[in-house]
A and B are shown apart, each in its own frame.
Chain A
Amino acid sequence: MTCAELQQGLPEIVDKDWSAEQEKHLQSCPACAGVVSDLKLIVKESRALQGSEEPSIRVWDFIQTELQQEQEDLQLIAQQASLLRESDEPSPRVWTSIASVLHEYEADGEVIAREARELQGSEEPSPRVWNSLEIALREEGLIRKAAGKGSLVRQFPRWRWQTAWLLPVAAGLIVGIGFRLHRDSAEPKHIAVSKPVVVLPDDFVPKADLENPDLDRQMLDDVAARAPSLRQRYENDLHSVNSYIRDAQQSLRANPNDEEAQQSLINAVEQRSMLYQLAGDHSLP
């Protein structure tokens, strides 16, 4: 037997009984004997290694169970995502978040209104009183024309009153931001659903009421008091903006996942915010 003939079948026979011919060759050939010896060592070590690192059957069972569970979860997620894609309505989480933000702002509004009432009832004279004082003092000649100084009229109380208008606008902006966030998070192509989808009733309507006739009237009255000639312009523009908001809301209800409709509502609310801001601006007389 030659070395090549012996080594050809070595992997299969290294762990088994040798034939007499093979035994004879190994005794006469130190090279083959060395190879066989190394092979036996490798086999022995690998068995020891296998015994120590191989997870138990229990582990394999556990892994298999987990995999099955994952597969079932994935199927559920896919099913939910599919349902959500088919649904036209944004998830209730969005509406809930909007509603809670609005509630917070309503609460803040009440606090500010109460503070405003307290301020009104406090001993601090109103801006009109300061203004009358200033006029009277000027007429009496007790004060001269201010040279580079501001009016005696204290500005801050007016500002406080004006901020009350901004609350619903701020609330509106929050709604807008909510829609924007929702749009970013609820992109159907990249949606990752982790909770079951709740099917909303057909008559569900968002509670985000972005119009407030009382506040509008208050704002217009104040504009009229400060700049009568501008009242009509403000009223016309307020009408335009409110109409914009209504149309945008309607469009969004029809297509809740429509990005342009969402953006339109945000734009309309921003316009309303700007109108209130300009109405309260100190550039008005």
Chain B
Amino acid sequence: MRRRYETNLALVVLLVTASVAVAETRKEFRFPVSGKASVSITNVYGPISVKSAQGGQIFVIAILKSDKVEVDRSQSGDRIDLVSHLLPGADMQSGQVEYDVQVPIDTAVTLHTTTGSLTAEKLQGDLSVEGAAANVSLRDIANAHVHVKTLDGPITLANIVNGHVEVTSISGNVVMTAVNGKLVEVNSASGKIRYDGDFGYAGVYILSSHTGDIEATAPSYASFDVSARSEKGKVENDFTLEPKHTSFVVKAGSAFAGTMNKAASSVKLFSMSGKIHLKKR
């Protein structure tokens, strides 16, 4: 009896898998580009992954989960637009498209999704990434503007060199590792902000939150000028700082300010009620 049940179950699983596999469609698009290109991808449901590759073209693999979704595409010179177009009856499952995109390294990339993950790596062009509930992961980016917006999707930024980074998230946690540049600004409401890096050289780092905790970790050789304050949260500092003038009253446990080494970069940590911790690595 049990054996028969298992056999039936396996058959059902096989049939379901087969039907899903049959419904999936793989499409490839190639867009030749001659100069500094820009690509914009809007995907309602599903992930988008972008990487750099050799060659003067943008190569897109799109896996459509059903025939209830199409990919609309257009090219105007070096500008490429791809949009997942839901057809009647599409839902969160059947409306999914998975994009795997290869672009020339200096391509400007704009990604939108609602729920999928958004990843980009090894790029040196400007990046704009938006997604309400999207998981965002960006790594190995250089000399670029990086703008990220999510509602509650977590954001991971790693190895971003000489960037102009602006991140806004309401409740998504933001984790940055080895991120530096002229401006690194993170604005969060309830999400936590974590920074692990050396604050680079001559940059401005502004990490602010409403209730989310802020944790910044830097090595002892880091050179920065820091002011940190939480109106209702606890503030801790592991560094021995040279005192400096501030616009607010420095009060142990709720605010501190000072300079470390040559004060090459400016660091501002502010929270209304979250905890702030400046840690020494």
Contact = CB atoms under 8 A, between A and B. Distances in A.
B151 interface: yes
Nearest to B208: A267
Interface string A123-149: 000000001001100100000011011
A52 to B, nearest CB: 55
A19 interface: no
Interface in B226-281: 229, 231, 247-248, 270, 272-273
A259 B208 CA distance: 13
B48 to A, nearest CB: 10
A234 interface: yes
A247 B149 contact: no
B130 A278 contact: yes
B189 A240 contact: yes
Interface string A253-282: 000001110011001101100110110011
Interface in B136-168: 149, 151-152, 168
B275 to A, nearest CB: 16
A243 B42 contact: no
Interface stretch (B6-14, B86-94, B196-204): B86-94
A267 B83 CA distance: 31
B211 to A, nearest CB: 8
Contacts of B130: 278, 281, 283
A244 interface: yes
A138 B186 CA distance: 46
A268 B86 contact: no
A134 B86 contact: no
B176 to A, nearest CB: 17
A247 B231 CA distance: 10
Nearest to B41: A283
A80 interface: no
A278 B132 contact: yes
Q: Which of A134, A233, A258 has the most CB of B within 10 A?
A: A233
A275 B151 contact: yes
Nearest to A248: B272
Contacts of B131: 278, 283
Candidate in B88, B170, B210 with the most chain A CB atoms within 10 angstroms = B170
Given A237-B171, A283-B130, A284-B44, A146 B187 contact: no
A230 B114 contact: yes
B43 interface: yes
A244 to B, nearest CB: 4
Interface residues of B, number: 43
Nearest to A189: B247
Contact of B187 (A236, A243, A267): A267
A46 interface: no
B73 interface: yes
Interface in B73-98: 73, 83, 85-88, 90, 92, 95
Contact of A251 (B95, B149, B231): B231
B128 interface: no
Given A278-B130, A284-B132, A229 B92 contact: yes
Contacts of B171: 236-237, 240
Contact of B272 (A134, A244, A284): A244
Interface in A209-233: 227, 229-230, 233
Contacts of B114: 227, 230, 283-285
In this complex, the member of A148, A229, A240, A263 whose beta carbon has the largest number of chain B beta carbons within 10 angstroms is: A240
B23 to A, nearest CB: 14
A268 to B, nearest CB: 7
Contacts of B187: 267, 270-271
A251 B272 contact: yes
Contacts of A264: 208, 210, 270, 272
Contacts of A260: 229, 247-248, 270
- Kindly name the residue among B85, B114, B152 whose own CB sees the greatest number of chain A CB atoms within 10 A: B114
B217 interface: no
11 contacts: A145-B87, A233-B132, A237-B152, A237-B171, A240-B170, A264-B270, A270-B187, A275-B170, A283-B42, A283-B113, A284-B114
Interface of B: 42-45, 67, 70, 72-73, 83, 85-88, 90, 92, 95, 112-115, 130-133, 149, 151-152, 168, 170-171, 187, 189-190, 208, 210-211, 229, 231, 247-248, 270, 272-273
Given A234-B132, A277-B149, 11 more contacts: A134-B88, A148-B73, A149-B72, A237-B152, A237-B189, A240-B211, A244-B210, A247-B273, A268-B189, A274-B149, A274-B170
- Which 10 A-B residue pairings sit nearest by Cβ, starting from the closest? A283-B112, A244-B210, A237-B170, A240-B189, A135-B88, A267-B187, A237-B151, A244-B189, A260-B270, A278-B132
